[in-house]
Structure 1
Amino acid sequence: MHIAITGAAGFLGQRLVAQLLDRGELDGDAIRRLTLVDQAEPPVVAKEGVEIRSLALDISTPGALDPVLEAGPDVIYHLAAVVSSAAEADLDLGMRVNFDATRALLEGCRAHGLSRTRLIMASSVAAYGGELPAVLDDMTALHPQNSYGAQKAMSELLVNDYSRRGLVDGLVLRLPTIVIRPGRPNAAASSFASSILREPLNGEEAICPVPTDLELFVMSPGRVVDALIHGAGVSGEALRTFRAFMLPGITVSVAEMLEALREVAGDEALARVRHEPDPRIEAIVGSWPARFTNERARQLGFKNDKDFREIVEAFLGERA
């Protein structure tokens, strides 16, 4: 099996690569080839029996992915994206990477006859917004309130339509807010959701820019990677005509997140969190819904974290 991954140098891409190499197979087929794509050449860890090719490409450049698609990958993970705050700050950049590159990828699949290739695109809870019901399902209308969400929503429709036409075997997984992310804060509006836990657990100060009663729909990195891998094996017949849905996260308030921090690391860790309101971040994150039914995802075998403390303890276990 040949697997290609865009955004392979990112934290999610690197976790996916590591998990695929550890398993050695995907949907029952041995992995023989991995093609890793990002702006900077993704790091490679050699694995016996697997040919790994690492490419530095600007996927928004016309034809940039042709060398990848000509090789006929069986599965493509499309993870490359400009994150929320960056896409809001620079409309042209967000459109070029989040939408134009997705369209170019789909057109490339069409041109190279990859109708049987499973294309898994990572979308986002940011595709929702506006006036919403208290609890959403997968057919709730998309009304994003920021450019990142709009770009993801447009890309979702394209993946769905190219799949309807039989040009590719697409699947869109809308990701909850991922916590706890490793590393340092990035340009994502939701970056604080990880930093208010990660930094205090590392003995550093962190800033909480939103009210503590704000609710988020979250999922651990490990569960997201499990979902990406599981998605490769879900049949097109099971997906039916609508190929996009929300992964099963859990709903948690910022106050509950901070209480989990106190429970696992004590009052000293909690005291490292400073509350400094940022209306710009609150406007973006506050537009994202926090409650979903997730019935369809569960029926298809996708799994959620048990509770938020489990997410924190998983992060601590990875640091050990």
Structure 2
Amino acid sequence: MHIAITGAAGFLGQRLVHQLLERGELNGQAIRQLTLIDQAEPPAIEREGVELRCLALDISEPGALEPLLEARPDVIYHLAAVVSSAAEADLDLGMRVNFDATRALLEGCRAHGLSGTRLVMASSVAAYGGELPEVLDDMTALHPQNSYGAQKAMGELLVNDYSRRGLVDGLVLRLPTIVIRPGRPNAAASSFASSILREPLNGEQAICPVPTELELFVMSPARVVEALVHGAEVPASALGDFRAFMLPGLTVSVAEMLDTLREVAGESALARVRHEPDARIEAIVGSWPARFSNERARQLGFRSDRNFGDIVQAFLSEVSR
């Protein structure tokens, strides 16, 4: 089996690579080839029996994906994206990477006759917005309130349509806010959701830019990677005509997140969080819904974290290794 990953140098892409190599198979077939693509060449991870290609490509450039598609991968994970705040700050960049490159990838699959290739695209809770019901489901209309969400929503519609036409076997997974991300804060509007936990747990200061009553829909990195792997194994017959849905996350307020921080690491850790309102961040993140009915995802075998405490403990276990 040949698996390709765009955005493979990112934290999610790297975790997916490690998980796939650890499994060694997908859908009962041995993984024989991995093609990893990102703007900067992804790190090479050697594994006996697996041919690894690490490519530094700008997938928004015309024809950039031709060498990959000519190799006819069995599964493509499309993770490459310009994140929320960056896409809002630079419309042209966001459109080029988040939408144009997605369309080019789908057109490439069409041109090369990759109708049986499973294309798993990572979308986002940011595709929703506006006036919404208290609890959403997969058929709630998309009304994004920022350019990142709009670009993801447009990509979702394309994946659905190309799949409807039998041009590719697509699946869109809308990701909750991922916490706790390792490393340093990035340009994502939701970056604070990790930093208000990660930095205090590491003995560092952090800034909370939103009201503590704000609720988020969250999922741990491990559960997201598990969902991506599972997404390649869900039979096409089980997906039906509508190929996009929200992964099952947890609804948690910022106050509850900080309470968990106190429970785990004490008052001294909590004191490292400074509250400095940022209207721009609040406007973006505050437009994202936080309560979902995920019956369809659960029926297909996708799982949520048990509770927020488990997410924090999983992070602590990782950093202590």
Matches within 5 A, 1:257-272: 257-272=257-272
Q: 2:44 & 2:264 partners in 1: Cα distance?
A: 35
Match of 2:275 in 1: 275
Instruction: Show CA shifts across 1:164-194 (max 9, x none).
Output: 0000000000000000000000000000000
Quick one: percent identity of the two aligned structures? 85
- Structure 1 counterpart of 2:146, one-letter code: N
Matches within 5 A, 1:98-247: 98-247=98-247
1:300 aligned onto 2:305: no
Runs of 4+ residues deviating >3 angstroms: none
- Structure 2 counterpart of 1:41, one-letter code: E
Secondary structure (helix, strand or coil) at the match of 2:148 reads helix
Q: 2:224 & 2:29 partners in 1: Cα distance?
A: 21
Q: 1:120 & 1:45 partners in 2: Cα distance?
A: 22
Instruction: Show CA shifts across 1:42-71 (max 9, x none).
Output: 001100000000000000001100000100
Secondary structure (helix, strand or coil) at the match of 1:85 reads helix
Q: 2:26 & 2:49 partners in 1: Cα distance?
A: 14
Deviation at 1:273, TM superposition (A): 0.1
Instruction: Show CA shifts across 1:127-149 (max 9, x none).
Output: 00000000000000000000000
Q: 2:3 & 2:46 partners in 1: Cα distance?
A: 15
Residue segments in structure 1 that go unaligned for 5+ positions in a row = none
Match of 2:256 in 1: 256
1:56 aligned onto 2:56: yes
Match of 1:77 in 2: 77
1:23 aligned onto 2:55: no
Deviation at 1:222, TM superposition (A): 0.2
Match of 2:289 in 1: 289
TM-score (norm 1): 1.00
- Structure 2 counterpart of 1:27, one-letter code: N
Secondary structure (helix, strand or coil) at the match of 1:43 reads coil
Q: 1:86 & 1:210 partners in 2: Cα distance?
A: 18
- Structure 1 counterpart of 2:285, one-letter code: V
Deviation at 1:123, TM superposition (A): 0.1
- Structure 1 counterpart of 2:237, one-letter code: E
Deviation at 1:28, TM superposition (A): 1.2
Q: 2:153 & 2:136 partners in 1: Cα distance?
A: 16
- Structure 2 counterpart of 1:308, one-letter code: F
Secondary structure (helix, strand or coil) at the match of 1:133 reads coil
Q: 1:184 & 1:209 partners in 2: Cα distance?
A: 16
Instruction: Show CA shifts across 1:61-105 (max 9, x none).
Output: 011000001000000000000000000000000000000000000
- Structure 1 counterpart of 2:93, one-letter code: L
Q: 1:119 & 1:228 partners in 2: Cα distance?
A: 11
TM-score (norm 2): 0.99
Match of 2:14 in 1: 14
Q: 1:56 & 1:9 partners in 2: Cα distance?
A: 10
Deviation at 1:121, TM superposition (A): 0.1
Q: 1:47 & 1:237 partners in 2: Cα distance?
A: 33
Deviation at 1:236, TM superposition (A): 1.0
Q: 1:296 & 1:44 partners in 2: Cα distance?
A: 36
Residue segments in structure 2 that go unaligned for 5+ positions in a row = none
Q: 1:112 & 1:259 partners in 2: Cα distance?
A: 52
Secondary structure (helix, strand or coil) at the match of 2:266 reads helix
1:89 aligned onto 2:116: no
Deviation at 1:298, TM superposition (A): 0.2
Instruction: Show CA shifts across 1:218-276 (max 9, x none).
Output: 00000000000001111111100000000000000000000010111000000000000
Match of 1:3 in 2: 3
Deviation at 1:27, TM superposition (A): 1.7
- Structure 2 counterpart of 1:126, one-letter code: A
